[in-house]
Structure 1
Amino acid sequence: MKKITKIEYQKNNKDRVNIYLDDKFEFGIDLYIMIKYSLSKNMELDDEFISEILVEEDKAKAYNYAISVLSRSPKSEKELRTKIIQKGYDIDIANIIIDKLKVNKYIDDEDYSDRFIHDKINISKYGKRKIKDALYNKGIDRQIIDEKLSLISMDDEISRAYVLGEKKLKSMINIESSKKYVKLSSFLVSRGFEYETVRKVVSKLLSTDFYSCE
């Protein structure tokens, strides 16, 4: 057994305290942990109780780290779990933190997917295939991905691909007509549009381009 001989507030953070056991500094913890376990001077602690306190401290640190990550940019559940583990916390603590954040609505893969799709369509101008691959790599459930992307109509895809293709075609003035189809198709495929969408758009663009040159 070890006895708490001193508890002091940390100089640079009044929300944390230093715990001294048998007149030696032992560890620093969040103030709420001290209150949760009713720690006080002259209280005796066994090794098991100390371990429990330190695990709780790791949870508090991991939670605060996760909040700081989310404050900088939204993350999927998988992305955030990976960051917590890379920070040095074990997977059990990472899972506990993720569950707590989900309950508190700080992470929500459905909401994250909605925002991601909106940005990639309106800002990055991605096609559905590229968006689908990106969401899958972020650990989003396939069912969520399919449900969200099903809301994007073929007409919308074709319209966006056409605008991108039209802009690209204007930069291909000095390229031989026979090569335009391949280059334009490759460009739209790289932007994530499905092959059937690309075929329709490129055929229409080159048909228009042909007549505009006469």
Structure 2
Amino acid sequence: MKKITKIEYQKNNKDRVNIYLNDEFGFGLDLNIMIKYSLSKNMELDDEFISEILIAEDKNKAYNYAISILSRRAKSEKELRLKMSQKGYENEYIDFTIDKLKQNKYIDDSDYSERFILDKLNFSKYGKLKIREALYNKGIDKQIIDEKLILISSEDEFKRSYELAEKKLKSLSKLDSQKKRIKLYNFLINKGFEYDTVKKVVSELLKEEYNGFDD
């Protein structure tokens, strides 16, 4: 058994304390962990109890690290797991953290996907194919991706791609019709629009210039 002989606040972080056992430094703890286990001076601890406390401290560190990551930028579950793994956290602590974050509604791939899609539609001007690929790479479940992207109508895709192509066309004024067409195709395909949408948009924009051109 080891006795707690001193508890002091850490100088640079009043949310943490140092625990001294038998007049020697034992370990540092988050204040909430100390309160959870009702630690106090002269309390005696066996090795099993100390091990339980330290595991709780490690889990708390993992959770706080994840919160700090999410406070800077939203992440998918896969992205957060990768970040924690790269930081050196064991799978046990990563699983614990992810479960707790889900319970507290701090991480939700469905909600994340909605916000990601809106951002890419409104600011990056991506087409559905590029958004799908990006979400897949972030580890979002295929069912979630399908559910969210089905809400984007073909009319919306056409309108956005048309506006992009119309703006792009202004920078291609010195090219002949065929080169303009190729440039517009490549531009819209790289943005992630489906081929049928791209074909329709380019045809609308350049119909007078290459009318009768064999598709």
Q: Under TM normalisation by the shorter chain, which class is it?
A: over 0.9
> For structure 1, which segment, 46-55 or 71-80, has the greater mean C-alpha deviation from structure 2 after superposition?
46-55
| SS of equivalent residue, structure 1 residue 74 | coil
Task: State the match for 2:6 in structure 1.
Answer: 6
Structure 2 stretches of 5 or more lacking a match? Answer: none
How many residues are matched?
211
The Cα offsets for residues 83-130 of structure 1, whole Å up to 9 and x where unpaired, read as 122222111111111111111111111111111111100111000000
Task: State the match for 2:54 in structure 1.
Answer: 54
In the alignment, the residues of structure 2 paired with residue 13 and residue 141 of structure 1 have an alpha-carbon distance, to the nearest angstrom, of 40
Task: State the match for 1:18 in structure 2.
Answer: 18
Q: TM-score, normalised by structure 2?
A: 0.93
In the alignment, the residues of structure 1 paired with residue 166 and residue 49 of structure 2 have an alpha-carbon distance, to the nearest angstrom, of 68
The Cα offsets for residues 9-60 of structure 1, whole Å up to 9 and x where unpaired, read as 1122222110111211121001111111122222232332222211111111
Task: State the match for 1:41 in structure 2.
Answer: 41
Amino acid at match of 1:202: V
Offset of residue 197 of structure 1: 0.9
Is the contact made by 2:178 and 2:210 (CA closer than 8 Å) also made in structure 1? no
In the alignment, the residues of structure 2 paired with residue 124 and residue 43 of structure 1 have an alpha-carbon distance, to the nearest angstrom, of 59
> For structure 1, which segment, 179-188 or 143-152, has the greater mean C-alpha deviation from structure 2 after superposition?
179-188
Q: TM-score, normalised by structure 1?
A: 0.93
Cα RMSD of the aligned pairs, angstroms, is 1.5
Task: State the match for 1:126 in structure 2.
Answer: 126
Offset of residue 209 of structure 1: 5.0
Whether 1:191 aligns to 2:197 is no
Amino acid at match of 1:13: N
Task: State the match for 1:166 in structure 2.
Answer: 166
Is the contact made by 2:157 and 2:193 (CA closer than 8 Å) also made in structure 1? yes
In the alignment, the residues of structure 1 paired with residue 169 and residue 26 of structure 2 have an alpha-carbon distance, to the nearest angstrom, of 68
In the alignment, the residues of structure 1 paired with residue 94 and residue 77 of structure 2 have an alpha-carbon distance, to the nearest angstrom, of 10
> For structure 1, which segment, 42-51 or 191-200, has the greater mean C-alpha deviation from structure 2 after superposition?
42-51
Task: State the match for 2:72 in structure 1.
Answer: 72
Pair 1:208–1:62, CA change in 2 (3 A): farther
Whether 1:177 aligns to 2:158 is no
In the alignment, the residues of structure 2 paired with residue 185 and residue 13 of structure 1 have an alpha-carbon distance, to the nearest angstrom, of 57
Offset of residue 153 of structure 1: 0.5
The Cα offsets for residues 61-98 of structure 1, whole Å up to 9 and x where unpaired, read as 11111111111111111111211222221111111111
Is the contact made by 1:58 and 1:89 (CA closer than 8 Å) also made in structure 2? no
Task: State the match for 2:110 in structure 1.
Answer: 110
Task: State the match for 1:81 in structure 2.
Answer: 81
Pair 1:111–1:208, CA change in 2 (3 A): farther
The Cα offsets for residues 175-204 of structure 1, whole Å up to 9 and x where unpaired, read as 222222221101100000011111111111
In the alignment, the residues of structure 2 paired with residue 47 and residue 197 of structure 1 have an alpha-carbon distance, to the nearest angstrom, of 67
In the alignment, the residues of structure 2 paired with residue 48 and residue 184 of structure 1 have an alpha-carbon distance, to the nearest angstrom, of 68
Structure 1 stretches of 5 or more lacking a match? Answer: none
In the alignment, the residues of structure 2 paired with residue 178 and residue 195 of structure 1 have an alpha-carbon distance, to the nearest angstrom, of 17
In the alignment, the residues of structure 1 paired with residue 10 and residue 209 of structure 2 have an alpha-carbon distance, to the nearest angstrom, of 71
In the alignment, the residues of structure 2 paired with residue 57 and residue 208 of structure 1 have an alpha-carbon distance, to the nearest angstrom, of 70
